[in-house]
Structure 1
Amino acid sequence: MNTLHLESSPYLLQHANNPIHWKAWNKETLTLAQQQDKLIIVSIGYSTCHWCHVMEHESFENEDVADVMNTHFISIKVDREELPHLDNFYMKAVQIMTKQGGWPLNVVCLPDGKPIWGGTYFRKDAWVDSLLQLNKLYQEKKDTVLDFANQLNEGITILSQAPAAQEESRFNIDILLDTWKKSFDWEYGGYDRAPKFMMPTNLLYLQKKAALHQDQTLLDYIDLSLTRMAWGGIFDTVEGGFSRYAVDHKWHVPHFEKMLYDNAQLLSVYADGYKRTKDELYKEIIDKTINFISANWANGEGGYYSALDADSLNQHEHLEEGAYYVWTIEELKSLIKEDFDLFSEVFNINSFGHWEEGNYVLIQTQPLETIAQEYNISLELLKEKKGNWENLLNTYRSHRAKPRLDDKTLTSWNAMYISGLLDAYTATTNTKYLKLAEENYSFIQNKLWNEELGLLRTYKNDEAKIEAFLDDYAFYIQALINLFEHTGEEHYISTAKNITDYTLDHFLDHKSKFFYFSKYSSDDVITPAIETEDNVIPSSNAIMAMNLLKLGVLYEHTYYTELANNMTETMLSMIDYPSAYSHWLLVQLYIQQPMELTWVGKDSLKDNLNTRSKVISRAFVFNMDGNSSIPYLSKYVANEETVHYLCMNNACQAPSADNSKLEQYSL
């Protein structure tokens, strides 16, 4: 029987009524497969995955398919966001076998979980034929299947190992940047390809690097990217929030699902952009994104849900990708009325903005200043009209069927959002964003921390479950350090240190000096993996390296510092395509020329926040206004007059109350 109704994951619950006898991943299910000597089907996806929905409708809701799967296999459904270590493991297997990957991810395994065959989306007939052949092969040539599984597992083990330092380092940032720039789209920003992902961690590093070294060409590229992303359909100008990626090269038509992790990271990118340029468009993006998250994903307890689906019910009550977001000319004319021509000029209700079947996705292609001049109206009036149009469309759209909500709360994504909120706070000085960050911290600490188990990964219906993975720890430690840096409250940094020590005890591979993605003491059948590459989310090991550097300074803890330096040096020695290692390059900005700026005195927090209102590329910035128990700060004495201490390359200048002296340094 199908037991997914016992789960809390929205993705698993979507499959709870399938005729297939789906099970969850657990020891009992694996034991059942071994007792019955049946192959296992592991089908992995997530709630907002469009092609997962397609395969469900075509195959997993079909009685004939269910008969094959139920008769010959033990079938397991996995939410990749709940159990990312399984997704990483089986994705490596499929990539070895097929040279490609994606979701849905469907793998056939031995009864012990070792993979023997797999792929992504399959049409119904191909799926059934493959399953029947695999079952026959397993029954008739079991030894051959076992041999292949062992060979494949050896390949996965090799891919899961920590990187080894190259004897002769190939690292040269200028050469790497020259190579990197060849992949840039100099017309629309981002990368010159489709589909087109925003890759926030790439943009974060490139912007800080460009600001630090005053690389105007690179800054122009960043501004092109941020502007075109903000104008494009990938950003929902009506309500706010970014979709996961665009299917075209001009950021026009999104794959309409929205994810918390993208929006959390992009807050930091746009915050740096606003700090650097004071471009009101960037501030608009920050404010709209946070308003969208609060309106749609707040769980009522200080935390936030995970995602909105790409699919929603259309006017015929059928699930359709993008139905909630797109517009027909008739709808727009009836809503905008006499301003329709001006609206069409702003949002390209023309051949450029047309998507398909008479539907339009709103996209800008020129600044409002240009359009205001063309129509001989004031910029202020056009901005007012644009805001009114968006409110009107948002009210109208609220009566449509909303996309399906993934209402689980994930520790790592919420921790990312804390950091994004703090960057938004120092960019805009909106104290509401600091308050939201502090409330999110309280939620994680109160609901997702367990004194015996450590962090838990997911929360829903007042229940936290699943022991956390490295990304949960890394991003939460990062959030705690950021909270300390933005408030000066020492309980944040002491909590960060305690959780870091827990992470060292339970995740560190003492041989390679990198961190496993899952606890190495786990008795899971999955090969423990060390993940070091960035993707749409930065490498957890890279986040830990920066965490260790900051804690190493504050606690004068040489082990933290040496560990972070060794990890980073190893990674830099082997970088060949920099886009996959941008967060390591961000760590390298500090290591290349360590810089610490500490404000001490009555107004230290104010001066700290003023410093953070500008782009910080490499410096660690702290403040204290009284006595401190933190070793690095405890040597300072706070007085009425606030002074700053600037240290570079382990040498400190004399304290100074003259803040103008800092202007000569790039922080």
Structure 2
Amino acid sequence: MANRLAQSLSPYLLQHADNPVDWWEWGEDAFAEAARRDVPVFLSVGYAACHWCHVMAHECFEDDEVAQVLSAGFVAVKVDREERPDVDAVYMAATTALTGHGGWPMTCLLTPAGDPFFAGTYLPKAQLLGLLDNAGRAWRDQREQVVASGSHVAQRLREVTGPPAPAAVGPEVLADAVVRLRGQYDDARGGFGGAPKFPPSMVLEFLLRHHARTGTADALAMVRGTCEAMARGGMYDQLGGGFARYAVDAAWVVPHFEKMLYDNALLLRVYAHLWRSTGDPLARRVAEETAAFLLRDLLTPEGAFASALDADTVVDGHSHEGLTYAWTPAQLAEVLGADDGPRAAALLEVTPEGTFEAGASTLQLRADPADPVWWEGVRARLLAARAERPQPARDDKVVTAWNGLAVAALADAGALLGRPDLVAAAARAADHVLATHLVDGVLHRTSRAGRVSQAPGVLDDHADLAEGLLALHQASGDARWFAAATELLDRALLRFVDDDGTVHDTAHDAPTLFSRPASRSDNAEPAGASALAHALLTAAALGGPTRHRAAAEQALAACGSVATGEPRFAGWALAVAEAVAAGPLQVAVVGDGPDAEALLAAVRRSGSPGLVHVAGAPDAPGIPLLASRPLVDGRAAAYVCRGFVCDRPVTDPGAVVAAVGPVPQA
């Protein structure tokens, strides 16, 4: 019989709707039921594209014996971490504190008050049943100790996970971060550290900005080495474009195959910016292929972007990781023929021994093909053949924050690469999210098929969406995106920032948890505080309220201790600090036609981290930078300003380049 999850909008929860486990969704009703029955809460947190979540579901939650034990002694609560990042954050902090590591699926036992007294990750059936038996007996026979333990854990976590003291992130911190990152850089294979290896998207953005401001060769070299290594390895989809979540090895050969919207949005922006810095054709190709992946595989009928493609492919009820993507030499020959098959195998490093499982290989492209026309034909044939294989499921919920990142990436890339179609796609996604997720002035976290969920928007939803709208405003010149962004930021300041400037991930009026999350570390996405700092800084430079600049600096300082101590986990905060150090540098282009386009193209060639720009008619309503900026002798003109103090307008693109500065080459 279907459980309570059958009415959920979350694809992850719907994956569990037919389990024999009597699941509840997170909410007051579940904890009230635990209190009424006087039993603990069994909390399971995961997400739809998670391989080990599928494994535990098959081993445990589809099992009648496990279901009976859970029903008898617990209230079982299932949470989609992507829908409720607030719940995930506080209990992941507990899991990490209690076990020394974290991950998904996350398994916690809670008192009816929500305090954790056990935490772990993936558990096979026997281990889970042993845990439930021991916990049940402890709850019956040692209730006071269990409750006291949970209360103590919650109190300690409130103490140790509170916001750190603010710290400035000035030029000395930025220079030191580059030195420290250089010490952790993998010269042979790119990236930082060993296996598993995650794409360091936000660190790469910081390094690009640092190079643009200072000309430091090491900064650009680390970006180029990492971006090339990732793009040529198996973590990048050599046929369809787009990146997997991470590589299980240090050489980027074997990925964890799930493809996430946030990774691909952040990396699309990095590769577009790397192309701007260097003109590297590989960077441009990867940017355009990643954009194509977003539009082909993650675009929803409503015009926004789905969350992810699963790590697994299901065949006959069984999950197989990588089945869609891995190849053997024989499979290549079957598709391409006796001549092209071995040639493609050599190019893509598909060997009889295999690099993945069961003699299959991931596809790598370690060198550019000698015959690009031949390769494009082969690539198209292999992609068509792959489309006939069983495909991974798509998590089609629309997440506000991740769509904000996608809007920013597509708007930036479209403007830089001369692709108005990408800017138009960004506008359609922004339109849908604003129309669907903003309900009576309150921003919600997710929707599916046009139906908005009740999950509250957290700080990064507000900040990342504002970031995307501001990038779209600069790419399109449309004033409505600037207005929508500044309204979102004002709401964020009102609901997520205390009177003393403390920034929180959840709103003042959000349902309370045992701890109020206030992350300062960038993880797979920018932290809420660093995302807020960047959006506020950009809005202020574009002519928004002056209070936005002060609030941006306050939010950046909130991330200062992480930026100083662990730069690998503060890439976005460091990128924001680069913008502070280099700006504000504002350029307003007035006029239309080829002359205005040439001026705007010159502006966009600059990688100055403090630069914002906008183009349109003189005194266009709703665009502060265009106010009192007339044409010059009837011609299009560019006004270059530093902190709203402007040089004389120029009409020559070369003069614009001289004024805003080209990216230093190294």
Q: Could you say whether these structures have the same fold, taking a TM-score greater than 0.5 normalized by the shorter chain as the test?
A: yes
Find out whether 1:621 has 2:599 as its counterpart.
no
Find out whether 1:305 has 2:299 as its counterpart.
no
Deviates more, 1:80-89 or 1:343-352: 343-352
2:639 counterpart residue number? 645
Superimposed CA distance per residue, residues 605-654 of structure 1 (whole angstroms, 9 cap, x where no aligned partner): 65234422443422222334221444554243345223333333664433
Match of residue 629, structure 2, among 617, 636, 642: 636
Q: Which runs of 5+ in 2 are unaligned?
A: none
How much is the aligned-residue C-alpha RMSD, in angstroms? 2.2
* Cα drift, residue 253 of structure 1: 0.8
Counterpart code for 1:565: E
Counterpart code for 2:578: L
Counterpart code for 1:459: S
Match of residue 549, structure 2, among 561, 567, 570: 561
Distance 1:254 1:23 in 2: 33
Superimposed CA distance per residue, residues 306-332 of structure 1 (whole angstroms, 9 cap, x where no aligned partner): 111111135x76321111111122111
Q: Is the 8 A contact 1:449 1:456 kept in 2?
A: yes
Find out whether 1:327 has 2:316 as its counterpart.
no
* 1:168–1:346 distance in 2 versus 1, CA, 3 Å: closer
Find out whether 1:398 has 2:390 as its counterpart.
no
Superimposed CA distance per residue, residues 529-571 of structure 1 (whole angstroms, 9 cap, x where no aligned partner): 2112111101121121122122223446332211212232343
Runs of 4+ off more than 6 Å:
167-170
1:235-274 equivalences in 2 (<5 Å):
235-274=236-275
Q: Is the 8 A contact 1:267 1:423 kept in 2?
A: no
* Cα drift, residue 170 of structure 1: 11
* Cα drift, residue 345 of structure 1: 2.5
**SS of match in other structure, 1:77:** strand
Q: Is the 8 A contact 2:519 2:529 kept in 1?
A: yes
Q: Is the 8 A contact 2:521 2:570 kept in 1?
A: yes
Superimposed CA distance per residue, residues 146-199 of structure 1 (whole angstroms, 9 cap, x where no aligned partner): 221121111221244222135999953333221211111111211231111002
2:599 counterpart residue number? 607
* 1:447–1:348 distance in 2 versus 1, CA, 3 Å: same
Q: Is the 8 A contact 1:474 1:544 kept in 2?
A: yes
Q: Is the 8 A contact 1:259 1:308 kept in 2?
A: yes
Q: Is the 8 A contact 1:556 1:632 kept in 2?
A: no
* Cα drift, residue 110 of structure 1: 0.3
Match of residue 506, structure 1, among 482, 489, 495: 495
* 1:383–1:491 distance in 2 versus 1, CA, 3 Å: same
Match of residue 434, structure 2, among 422, 439, 445: 445
Counterpart code for 1:238: L
Match of residue 462, structure 1, among 441, 450, 456: 450
Deviates more, 1:218-227 or 1:389-398: 218-227
* 1:324–1:150 distance in 2 versus 1, CA, 3 Å: same
Q: Is the 8 A contact 1:308 1:406 kept in 2?
A: yes
1:44-83 equivalences in 2 (<5 Å):
44-83=45-84
Distance 1:599 1:554 in 2: 10
Superimposed CA distance per residue, residues 6-65 of structure 1 (whole angstroms, 9 cap, x where no aligned partner): 212111111111111111112211111111111001100001111111111111112221
Distance 1:508 1:105 in 2: 29
Find out whether 1:414 has 2:396 as its counterpart.
no
**SS of match in other structure, 2:42:** strand
Distance 2:615 2:171 in 1: 38
Distance 1:636 1:145 in 2: 69
Distance 1:559 1:60 in 2: 51
Q: Is the 8 A contact 1:212 1:666 kept in 2?
A: no
2:420 counterpart residue number? 431
Q: Which runs of 5+ in 1 are unaligned?
A: 373-381
2:518 counterpart residue number? 530
**SS of match in other structure, 1:206:** helix
TM-score for both structures, normalised by structure 1: 0.93
Q: Is the 8 A contact 2:588 2:639 kept in 1?
A: yes
Find out whether 1:104 has 2:98 as its counterpart.
no
Distance 2:314 2:134 in 1: 38
1:340-379 equivalences in 2 (<5 Å):
340-350=341-351, 354-368=355-369, 372=370
* 1:34–1:56 distance in 2 versus 1, CA, 3 Å: same
Q: Is the 8 A contact 1:545 1:564 kept in 2?
A: yes
**SS of match in other structure, 1:467:** coil
1:377 counterpart residue number? none
1:188-203 equivalences in 2 (<5 Å):
188-203=189-204
Distance 1:427 1:554 in 2: 19
Match of residue 549, structure 1, among 523, 534, 537: 537
* Cα drift, residue 294 of structure 1: 2.0
1:539 counterpart residue number? 527
Q: Is the 8 A contact 2:617 2:626 kept in 1?
A: no
1:378 counterpart residue number? none
